[in-house]
Amino acid sequence: MGAPSPTEVRSRLLAWYAANRRDLPWRRTRVDDVLAVWEGLGFYGRARRLHAAARVIVAEHAGKVPPSYEVLAALPGIGPYTAGAIASIAFGIVAPAVDGNVLRVLARLFRIHEDVTGVVVRRRLIELAATLVSSDAPGAFNQAIMELGATICTPTRPACDRCPLENQCLARAAGEERQIPITANRKKPRAVPVAFALIEAKGRVLLVRREPGTLLGGLWGLPGGEVPSRLSERTSLPMLVKKQTGSVIQVGPLWSPVDRTFSHRKWFGSIYRCSPTRHPSSSERIRWIPIAEALQLPLVPFHREALESLSGLESFALL
């Protein structure tokens, strides 16, 4: 079987997309609303960079998205993939948009037997994508190949019998569609002990906003965090809370366990019900607010669960 034909790939993919495209509306709003909607999805830094890019567009481009791949790629949080997607979809510029789904499609289509996460191989796949992009409908083509990777050419169980590119795919012809793409083994997330304080008095709870650039940065949550080595949860928690808020606390009973895995860290530990002996003053990063108001903020997901359980308990007590 010869190399895939760019003309065949374009025509088959665009015809398939026209008949099978999904409706995926996007919304634009302020950063706290973006974080709240984003809550639970992870990658919170992306939401903040999206907001930063919007501010640059307003300040330097009169509020209009620049119709240039190069200018788009220079905006905060917008790399080659996002720049290619915006340029092609919004402005009809011929540019590839290669995300993880597209990498997988290309690796199978061209039967790439190398680690697709490597810089050199990834660059090669982007160059191959550029040879395929339709000059007549670059935006539709990029959306089509992303859609194909998301719905048909999936990571573990590709539906090759329903794929419009089945007769062009070198991996399918060789029976290797489940062995490709090849990726390096990821490191296991590092296990880190944590402790958090659920501090409540008279229907109010103490929240802190996590520092930008840190894990879950920008979200509101319970004070506390990663436990220093050789210290217990109960010993370290008052120190963490005092450092973050200035509040002095007494650590009470266990409220709920913590077991959360992120891309590079696994948090395990506890949330403790605590009582304050000194109340902190509210500031830009510290809030002492009613539980109902706290639940309206963009929160660390498992801290939201703790507050919801506390809110439910208090509602039950009022019956």
By CB atoms closer than 10 A (0-12, 13-18, 19+), residue 223 is: buried
268 phi-psi bin (left φ>0, alpha ψ -120 to 50, beta other): beta
Query: In sequence order, what DSSP letters do the residues of 233-286 get, joined into one string?
Result: HHHHHHHHHHHHH--EEEEEEEEEEEEEE-SSEEEEEEEEEEEEEEPPPP-SSE
Nearest CA among 212, 207, 206 for reference residue 277: 206
Structure tokens belonging to residue 174: 């060789």
Residues 69-125: tens digit of each pLDDT: 999 998 888 889 999 999 999 999 999 999 999 999 999 999 999 999 888 999 999
Work out the pLDDT band at 213, boundaries 50, 70, 90: confident
Q: What is the mean pLDDT of residues 124-147?
A: 94
Spatial distance between the Cα atoms of 250 and 307, rounded to a whole number of angstroms: 19
**Cα separations in angstroms, 30 against 33, 48, 51, 95:** 5, 10, 7, 29
Q: What backbone torsions phi and psi does residue 191 show, to the nearest 5 degrees?
A: -75, 125
**pLDDT value for 131:** 94
Q: Who wins on pLDDT, 252 or 30?
A: 252
Task: State the Cα–Cα distance between residues 77 and 275, nearest whole angstrom.
Answer: 41
For residue 68, the model assigns a pLDDT of 92
Element (H, E) at 91: helix 80-91
pLDDT value at 34 more than 60: no
Q: How confident is residue 35, by pLDDT bands cut at 50, 70 and 90?
A: low
Per cent of the chain over pLDDT 90 is 58
- The pLDDT value given to residue 203: 85
In order of start, what are the domains of the chain with their CATH numbers?
Answer: 6-173 (1.10.1670.10), 190-318 (3.90.79.10)
Structure token digits, residue 152: 């048909």
**Contact at 8 Å (CB) between 306 and 222?**
yes
pLDDT tens per residue across span 163-193? 999 999 999 999 999 999 988 776 788 999 9
How far is it, in rounded angstroms, from Cα 255 to Cα 197?
A: 9
Residue 53 has pLDDT above 70, yes or no: yes
Instruction: Please give the single-letter amino acid code of residue 163.
Output: C
